[in-house]
Structure 1
Amino acid sequence: MKTRISYGKGNIALYRTGAAPLHGLPSIPESPFTGSSSTLFAVDVQVEVFGDTFLPAYTDGDNSRVVPTATMTNFILQKARLYTGATLEGFLHFIGAQMLNQYADMEAIRISASELPFAAATITDDGGKTAAPSATTFAAIEGTKAYASLDLERDGHGGVTITAHECGRRDMKLVKLTGNAFAKFVQDEFTTLAEKTDRLLYIYLDMGWRYADVGDAVQSDLHRYISARQVYDHIQHTFHDFVNMSIQHLIHEMGVRLLARFPQMGEVWFNAQNRLWEVTAEAPNEDAKVYMDPRPPYGMISLHLSRETL
């Protein structure tokens, strides 16, 4: 019988103060974001370890080679204090390499994390004439989050190699009031949906990418690093100025533009949901309308683009 052994720990939420600020990002035209002076680094970590040496724990109840998941949690929390970088991917690479160095029976590691975003409070000392971000006070931000995942193995020379990776942004919720259409689709006796040449569009969106060279994701020099914040701004920019004929049309344009903007991005994918609100009150020749959340069934649209397919 062939087996694949893995176990690990999830929901390791940690909050690191005194962290390095994020500096050195190149600017892009679609985003004002070029870094952050915040010294608060907050992430929710999940780790999964692989190794055939753990098989006796499953077959014989022999735990002599098992590293308890509580130990993994403590290890990550303690090592987080030593991380000197400022990116999610760099943090995962640092922790994963440290863990493989510490525990010889772990043959490979998959380590992932989502950011726990906090925004600096806006402080004014002159009655609102000027304002600046606080260096000490922050507010948690609910909603969309950057995420990343690295698969790591030993390289045979005392280091580690990244065997798989992905980066991205989840839980985006975007609405555009006009400049969206859906018409000329297949219609038969089951069709009740009316054609729309201009409509409001509300979508949920998860997306991700892989680097052409994953080394760009974990280098201390950030000149080829892809910021999830910049990607988020870029996606909103495309939604704003692109007149789309469908969600399929929209996410394809988002992907094409992202690959053009970031040459270090090797592939990109999207998973979208159509959450179009339902009109509940309107009157002829008036712009004012009242909407409500739609019925539970929702449309699902996915796309994967690689640079080779363009």
Structure 2
Amino acid sequence: MLGPHRYGKAETRLVRVHRDGDTHGLVDLNVSIALAGDLTATHLTGDNSAVLPTDTMKNTVYAFAKRHGVGEPEEFALLLARHFVRTQGQLDSARVSIESFAWDRLGPHSFQRRGDHTRTTVVTVTRAATQVVSGLTGLVLMNTTASEFHGFVKDRYTTLPETTDRILATAVDAKWRHLSDEADWGKSFQGAVDAMTTAFVNTYSLSLQQTLMSMGTLVLAKRPELAEIRLALPNRHHYLVDLSAFDLANENEVFIAGDRPYGLIEGTVTRDDAPPATAEWYQ
């Protein structure tokens, strides 16, 4: 028996230069499209009469970038998803996921790639509803103090010492679901980022879970257009170096930055009256 299925074109790389006079604009995207609907025949018998080629999806991305231009990633994703559902009667839904790579302006037509994080967007359009999820990945944050970790469960395998002063560092992956398909997308995105970083800075942390809750709560307090936010916070461990062999005291000054393994804290903060999601949104 055939279970749930979808197909599409993954990771179409798009760079769009907007040549408005002498000062150019630059948009750099990675676009993935997934379509679902009445596609049983192609799986069971190889009948492709309902299959829009994935190459056509790629061409649509480039053609729409020329015809319509590319503004906020949410706008472009909505445009593409609505097009596929509207023009392909055999489809039930279209999901468009976008990674947006930021460039800082150096001059009228010169740019420098920004590497601190990647903006993300996932738009799902069905016959009945539209869902917009924005987010980011790889936002690296660190507090060099104002973090403790103690009072935890201990068993025969526990070797971790308790601490009342530690480095707290993470690389934030976050996704937040919008209440509607209309918003000032750029302002909303930056507002959510500002709220997350503000909460990270101002929370005296007794656990990374507590910090996660503070970040999500402030985002929802500051951004009324959002229904909920999902955060994944890897704990980028920093281990104090033992300098006693050199007759040196290490008073929380010299650390080894750990790579693997790492703790991974995940959680969702939801508005009390938030309507349910219309499609999966944080996987």
2:147 counterpart (152, 171, 180): 180
Distance 2:134 2:126 in 1: 18
Q: After superposition, what is the alpha-carbon deviation per residue over 1:225-254, rounded to whole angstroms, capped at 9, x for unaligned?
A: 653333223322222222111101111111
Q: Hey, what's the Cα distance between the residues in 1 that align with 2:19 and 2:207? A: 43
In the superposition, relative to structure 1, how do residues 286 and 244 fare at CA in structure 2: closer, same or farther (>3 Å)? Answer: closer
Map of 2:47 onto structure 1 = 62
Find the counterpart in structure 1 of residue 280 from structure 2. none
1:12 aligns with 2:16: no
How much has 1:19 moved relative to structure 2?
7.7
Which residue number corresponds to residue 66 of structure 2?
81
Change (3 A) 1:140 1:85: closer
Q: CA deviation at 1:142?
A: 2.7
Matched, 1:48 2:13: no
Percent identity between the two aligned chains: 25
Equivalent position of 2:203 in the other structure: 242
Partner of 2:191: 230
Query: Given the superposition, is the C-alpha separation of residues 268 and 115 from structure 1 closer, same or farther in structure 2, using an over 3 Å criterion?
Result: same
TM-score, reference length from structure 1: 0.78
Unpaired runs of 5+ residues, structure 1, are: 21-36, 122-133, 156-160
Match of 2:167 among 192, 200, 203: 200
Contact residue 27 and residue 70 of structure 2 kept, 8 A? no
| Paired residues for 1:1-310 under 5 Å | 1=1, 3-18=3-18, 39-52=25-38, 54-84=39-69, 86-121=71-106, 134-154=107-127, 161-162=129-130, 164-212=131-179, 214-217=180-183, 222=184, 227-280=188-241, 282=243, 283-284=248-249, 286=251, 288-289=253-254, 291-294=255-258, 296-308=260-272
User: Aligned letter for 2:224?
Assistant: P
Is the contact made by 1:38 and 1:120 (CA closer than 8 Å) also made in structure 2? no
Shift of the alpha carbon at 1:8? Answer: 0.4
Q: In structure 2, what is the equivalent of residue 23 of structure 1?
A: none
Amino acid at match of 1:110: R
- Please give the alpha-carbon distance, in whole angstroms, between the structure 1 residues aligned to 2:120 and 2:250: 45
2:177 aligned partner, one-letter code: R
Aligned residue type for 1:49:
L
| RMSD value, Cα | 2.5
Q: How many positions carry a matched residue from both structures?
A: 268
Distance 1:287 1:186 in 2: 24
Aligned pair in 2 of structure 1 residues 300, 241: CA closer, same or farther (>3 Å)?
A: same
Q: Residue 103 of structure 1: CA displacement?
A: 2.9
User: How far apart are the structure 1 equivalents of 2:163 and 2:5?
Assistant: 52
* Inter-partner Cα distance in structure 2 for 1:138 and 1:10: 26
Structure 2 residue runs of 5 or longer lacking an equivalent are 275-283
TM-score (normalised: structure 2): 0.85
